Structure 1
């Protein structure tokens, strides 16, 4: 858990081109790494480094901000763990990616190759519109999940810790899959359940999602401080949970306290971030209690980062079952915080869940380049069939079962993604 205030080390290609020689040296980016934008776009349309580029774009699209080690972990490519991989020169130069160093503490004094560095979406958002024209539909889905391409990386520490938590859950816990911020908007989750979100909830989304094998989604909200905005957010989630029982919205909200010990608002234990989060949850469930069969308190819990990860390279036993604190009443009617294992179907029941629901979400998540690579192996939905049905051409055998070579040779990339190299195999002659 690194210190706060780490967002002043970002450099985009457009900034690098305008910078003075001294500023360029400070950025640490080799001059040869930055090419002209037009040349970079031309390179992007080729097959050179195509799997790596799609993997990196998908990772930052889903998770907003990732460290170079996290990028290597998500893509399954050890090369991505280097500071400036050659494969990312073109998307960086085109403005699709931006690179930054964590500048807090001793990290700013370390050699460039040893500094903690990060990648995020670049400042040339329109560049993706041009790049999209060279992508197959499956590649576009792999990068964006069918959503828009936008830049929101203002909270780098928050994003990196959220990504790290999801990766650790994916590696060590028995879950169906994990989802980035872009895939866990309230509107999407309600649409999947056949519900429509009200206008005021269209922009509401969690920071990440953890999917149980029975289809229950654990929506993760990470926070390092508690203010009025956070209290409103918790209250809004409580209102959503009260409005939609679990059979309508298979959702549990988990607030993860990522504050450092030094962030306590005073020396008194009652004023720590943990206690303030608990107070916000207690107030929210009091205002939106739900019903006897749909208690809001049973679906809104919290946990601190240190309780799951007490030290460097250490994980507590509670992490393996995702044990968290929920507000409950005991047999004597006393209200208090009790540990609940979120992955235990007896302690966190979901009567309407099924193994098929979890498999369906995991199957669809395999199409996304932002899904950790070991969760992308196996059968994937054929996106080509979606386009065939959309065109009303299901009866055309040549389109119904296309044979497409596997273009994504990197670990775990789906076989349904094909590159430009084989497009000449299909010719459309409008003169005939």
Structure 2
């Protein structure tokens, strides 16, 4: 299949910072020798280090401040948009490169190795910083080496920081969920983030979602279904939302073992239990085995064959029904099929063409190509543009959503709080004022609201006087 350079493709982010053509290619660039990087440094580690170790770390001495002072600074408006953007990005995508952070936030400053705006959250333990330590990146000068961000080691620090956030800001960072750290599979997370960013930039989709927003119980709850006990911890690595509301759950893997086969079997069981009219979900496995494997036909075939075997076994055990074939809802694609060379993409990427078992389509074995973004080839009869727009509208509240997808209307989070306080009958609250502390592409008044006005009290005395 012929390929084109990414800079030749129409971009939905034509003027933004660090588009896909500007970022280092994490797959073909050989940035990761293994799945986990060894270059992570937290502020607490830096404080305990010897002077020599601090010098080796490359972290500027001025970048690490007292944690109490750092939290105090974070409660001010200084660097607030950058801090919220970074925290939201790492919370959702787990591990991101500095260039990916710049792309998500729309701020080129974020692509610096140690941006001044992130000193406070790093010092408070909310962020951890690491250098990619493989390939040519290992030999580059410290200021030029590709680096990454993830959630820091002081999880309880967010609870203290949360007290200074508006409800809209808290939702922007966490999606209304808890603050946790799950980032130790660096290559996996960075590749998943890169795929989602490329889909968001070049494909006709409603939005993309990180792992934090893709929990199966939440997806089922949207359809009014209570998740089974065994499904409570189930979530894919990312989500791609089609215009009609169909969600493509992305599972990225570089190897196949017992755990992966069990995961695929579990997804097949879930898809058999819930047809698309209940759970509008399709699972896509992305084979992200290393580039050295991809250039070796034997190794590539082995990885691909093992993934296909896992899908075949899962479909055999959980085939579904004639109107809900599991084989039609679990597919796979090797990374080089979409991106055969650095900063290049095939036509198959633009419509997300992937391989699905041909079972039930005139053949019992074999694989067929299906375009996931084509409703004719991947039908979702219950889908509507309104359904896709609803998900996209909610996703605009999230700092983890790429900035060019955040423009447009958003839900009234302030009205949600008024309703929860049973105060919707107070006329003065019909258009409440909340602090606007964010700037940047698509992330200003649409998220945080308008400027400070007089604060509205919801105590009993005020409500009685208003009545």
TM-score (norm 2): 0.89
1:139 partnered with 2:169 = yes
Q: 2:116 aligns with which of 86, 89, 99?
A: 86
> 1:273 maps to which residue?
303
1:4 partnered with 2:33 = yes
> 1:229 maps to which residue?
259
Structure 1 position 414, deviation (Å): 4.5
Q: 1:382 aligns with which of 401, 406, 412?
A: 412
Structure 1 position 112, deviation (Å): 1.6
Q: Secondary structure at the match of 2:221?
A: helix
> 1:310 maps to which residue?
340
Q: 1:424 to 1:118 in 2, by over 3 A?
A: farther
> 1:198 maps to which residue?
228
**Can you list the C-alpha shifts for 1:210-249, whole angstroms capped at 9, x where unaligned?**
0001000000000000000000000000000000000000
Instruction: Trace 1:10-409 onto structure 2 (pairs within 5 A).
Output: 10-263=40-293, 268=298, 272-329=302-359, 333-404=363-434, 406-409=436-439
Instruction: State the number of aligned residues.
Output: 432
Q: Secondary structure at the match of 2:169?
A: helix
> 2:452 maps to which residue?
422
Q: Secondary structure at the match of 1:35?
A: coil
Q: 1:47 to 1:281 in 2, by over 3 A?
A: same
> Which structure 1 residue ranges, 5 or more long, are not aligned?
none
Structure 1 position 403, deviation (Å): 3.9
Structure 1 position 329, deviation (Å): 3.7
Structure 1 position 431, deviation (Å): 8.7
**Can you list the C-alpha shifts for 1:276-313, whole angstroms capped at 9, x where unaligned?**
00000000000000000000000000001000000011
Structure 1 position 45, deviation (Å): 0.6
Q: 1:268 to 1:70 in 2, by over 3 A?
A: closer
Distance 1:304 1:59 in 2: 26
> Which structure 2 residue ranges, 5 or more long, are not aligned?
1-26, 463-467
Structure 1 position 27, deviation (Å): 1.1
Q: Does the Cα contact within 8 Å between 2:433 and 2:453 map onto a contact in 1?
A: no
Structure 1 position 417, deviation (Å): 4.0
Structure 1 position 106, deviation (Å): 2.5
Q: Secondary structure at the match of 1:352?
A: coil
Distance 1:246 1:213 in 2: 15
Distance 2:95 2:230 in 1: 26
Distance 2:86 2:244 in 1: 30
Distance 2:321 2:413 in 1: 41
> 2:22 maps to which residue?
none
**Can you list the C-alpha shifts for 1:188-220, whole angstroms capped at 9, x where unaligned?**
100011111111110000000000010000000
Structure 1 position 169, deviation (Å): 0.1
159-168 or 254-263: which moved more? 254-263
Q: Does the Cα contact within 8 Å between 2:371 and 2:378 map onto a contact in 1?
A: yes
Q: Does the Cα contact within 8 Å between 2:33 and 2:135 map onto a contact in 1?
A: no
Q: Does the Cα contact within 8 Å between 1:309 and 1:315 map onto a contact in 2?
A: yes
Runs of 4+ in structure 1 off by over 2 angstroms are: 2-6, 261-264, 266-271, 329-334, 403-407, 416-432
Distance 2:118 2:451 in 1: 20
Structure 1 position 108, deviation (Å): 1.8
Distance 2:418 2:128 in 1: 36
Q: 1:410 to 1:395 in 2, by over 3 A?
A: same
Distance 2:450 2:125 in 1: 21
TM-score (norm 1): 0.96
Distance 2:439 2:251 in 1: 34
Q: Secondary structure at the match of 1:387?
A: helix
305-314 or 329-338: which moved more? 329-338
**Can you list the C-alpha shifts for 1:391-428, whole angstroms capped at 9, x where unaligned?**
11111122121244643221110425449983764467
Q: 1:112 to 1:420 in 2, by over 3 A?
A: farther
